[in-house]
Amino acid sequence: MDFDTVEWLVRPSQKRVDKLQNLVRLLKGKNVSTARELSSLLGQMESMAPLVPLGRVHKRPFQAALRRQWDQASQGWNVRIGLGSWFSNTISVWLLPWVSQGVPIVPPAPENILVTDASMTGWGAHLADQTASGLWDLSLAPQHINVLELEAVSLGLRAFLPLLGGSHVQVHTDNTTVAAYINRQGGTRSQKLSESACRLLVWCSSHNILLSAKYLKGTLNVLADALSRGDKVLHSEWTLSHQALDRLWVQVDKPCIDLFATRFSTRLPLFVSPFPDPLAWAVNALDLDWTNLQAYAFPPFCLLGKVVRKVDLEKPALVLVAPLWPSQHWYPDLLRLAVRPPIPLGVRRGDLLQPRSGVPHENPQALQLHGWILSESLCVVPGPRPQL
């Protein structure tokens, strides 16, 4: 490969380009070739793909066509394959000058983070403080969820195109397959998904968008998930009403930071979001140092074990809302850390709800939600320490 330190690009060497293009011209002059020779050509394309713009995108049509013409397991390497129009139509692009254009030596850092999600009913996306969403039409509704997730990425990019043109956009998705098909510029397991990913990447290139993808855990993809599901209940996204929390604030000083919230669910002036959000004070509460922090937390129940361990290690002044569930593994440690008996919140129907839709929890009393005071530095009404 050749490094251009003026343009800051890396290209395949001219010798390498000539070798590939000479083989293409040689095969275009034939009527038949062996599977071994065609596989060698495919291997040369793959080796050069990281050094040319959308290299794998341009390789995929030939790769897919060759798979239709030849079955390695049953036919072997020496079988002769006719080189009809399928070959010429998928290979000629490798004779064009773009093969020598090169790619950045170091890809630029992402300038925009687009978070997307899809459900069987609709899609959602958010970019900074802006959101977009919609429902599937009849032609898309029956599709596999992987297809819908990739379509959500496409719709999100188009919705925010005026803000994204000319930048590196990193898509955050909770679908590992979609992330892989974007980053690897297609794939071999699903031809439909591969073709859709390649079309999307070509569209992005036409708008001078460099597209990459990153896997985001579904439990952290809260806002896009909510946008894609309309008024569906999200079990990781409950918030307490202000009235319910007022029963807590009369007994303890109100902090100003909500550690597990979105812009819709926060109950305090500052909040820590599970995903990048310009309105948030910080991102991902479990990655922060809680030492000397005064905060409120109502985390998803699946995170309570990690929260209790972090409190034990870093000793923040924390007001925690958690269920009174003695059978849970984290419960003995929570009792040990509490400086007074847990405060019953007396949560009634309508006190626990979905922040965007306002849908109430069916049976909040069964959760036995309590306020746990986990620091002596918080001003509380005196009371005996809880007993194990």
pLDDT of residue 225: 63
- Which residues, in sequence order, are bridge partners of residue 239? 353
**Burial track 135-174 (b if 16+ CB lie within 10 A, e otherwise):** ebeeeeeebeebbbbbbbbbbbbebbeeebeebbbbbbbb
Binned at pLDDT 50, 70 and 90, residue 218 comes out as low
Structure tokens at 18: 């000539």
pLDDT digit string, tens, across residues 152-162: 999 999 999 99
pLDDT score, position 385: 44
pLDDT score, position 121: 87
Average pLDDT over residues 263-279: 86
Q: What percent of the chain has pLDDT over 70?
A: 92
Specify the pLDDT at position 388: 43
pLDDT tens readout for residues 61-82: 999 999 999 988 888 899 999 9
Tell whether the model's pLDDT for residue 376 goes beyond 70: no
Q: Give whole-number Cα distances, 186 to 45, 107, 275, 361, in Å.
A: 14, 19, 26, 42
Least confident span in 257-266, 281-290, 348-357: 348-357
Task: Give residue 290's pLDDT.
Answer: 94
Architecture of the domain delimited by 112-215: 2-Layer Sandwich (3.30)
Per CATH, which fold does 239-373 belong to? Answer: Rossmann fold (3.40.50)
Residue ranges covered by each domain of the chain: 2-104, 112-215, 239-373
Q: What integer pLDDT is reported at residue 120 of this predicted model?
A: 87
The arithmetic mean of pLDDT across residues 103-130, rounded, is 88
Higher-confidence position of 68 and 225: 68
| The model's pTM | 0.66
Q: Quick one: how far is CA 230 from the chain centroid?
A: 19
User: Token pair for residue 79?
Assistant: 């079988």
Name beta bridge partners: 9: 4, 104
pLDDT for the residue numbered 54:
94
What's the pLDDT at 379?
53
Check whether 384 has a pLDDT greater than 60.
no
For the segment 124-135, the average pLDDT, to the nearest whole number, is 85
